[in-house]
Structure 1
Amino acid sequence: MGKKQLNVRVDATTAEMARERAEQQGISMNQYIERLVQQDMGEAGRVFVDAAAQFMKEYETAFLAEFGEQRGGADLQDVRR
């Protein structure tokens, strides 16, 4: 995958903290920022999955009433796992 250049402005304290953390981890500032963004996206994905699971738990009875125990080979028990 190709790389794309970003220009980001932060205050001096933030820049220094980021530089120090990258150095502590033995990686470049670019790698450090890239990891932070990837971690953030991973967390957003987990939040979505957790919310979807909670929705299914709350509305399980309604889904069972509408669609029955099985639909398309997977039942609600399988979906919740």
Structure 2
Amino acid sequence: MAKKQLNVRVDATTAEIARARAEQEGISMNQYIEKLVQQDMGETGRAFVDAAAQFMKEYESVFLSEFGEREGTGSRR
């Protein structure tokens, strides 16, 4: 996959912490930042799925009263 260059500005303390964490993990600063973004994307996806599941749990009765059970759900219409 082609890489793209990003320029970001952070305060000195944040930069020092990021460098130290990258060094602790034995990876470059670029790899560390990329890893953080990928983790964030994963957490966002999980949060969305969790919220959707909670929504369906809360509103299941509304959907069932409006649309009824679908075939293969284990219940009859």
TM-score, normalization by structure 1: 0.83
- Runs (4+) off by over 6 Å: none
Deviation string, structure 1 residues 16-53 (Cα, Å, up to 9, x no partner): 11001000001000000001011111111111111100
Structure 2, unmatched stretches of 5+, are none
The answer to which structure, 1 or 2, has the higher relative contact order (CA under 8 A, 6+ apart) is 1
- 2:27 alignment counterpart: 27
Opposite residue 66 of structure 2, the aligned amino acid is E
1:65 Cα deviation (Å)? Answer: 1.3
2:18 corresponds to: 18
Q: In structure 2, how many angstroms separate the alpha carbons of the residues matched to 1:58 and 1:29?
A: 43
State the partner residue of 1:70: 70
How large is the Cα RMSD of the aligned pairs?
A: 1.5
The percentage of counterpart residues that share the same residue type is: 81
Aligned to 2:35, the other structure's residue is in SS state helix
Q: TM-score, normalised by structure 2?
A: 0.87
Q: Mind listing any 5+ residue stretches in structure 1 that lack a counterpart?
A: 77-81
Aligned length: 74
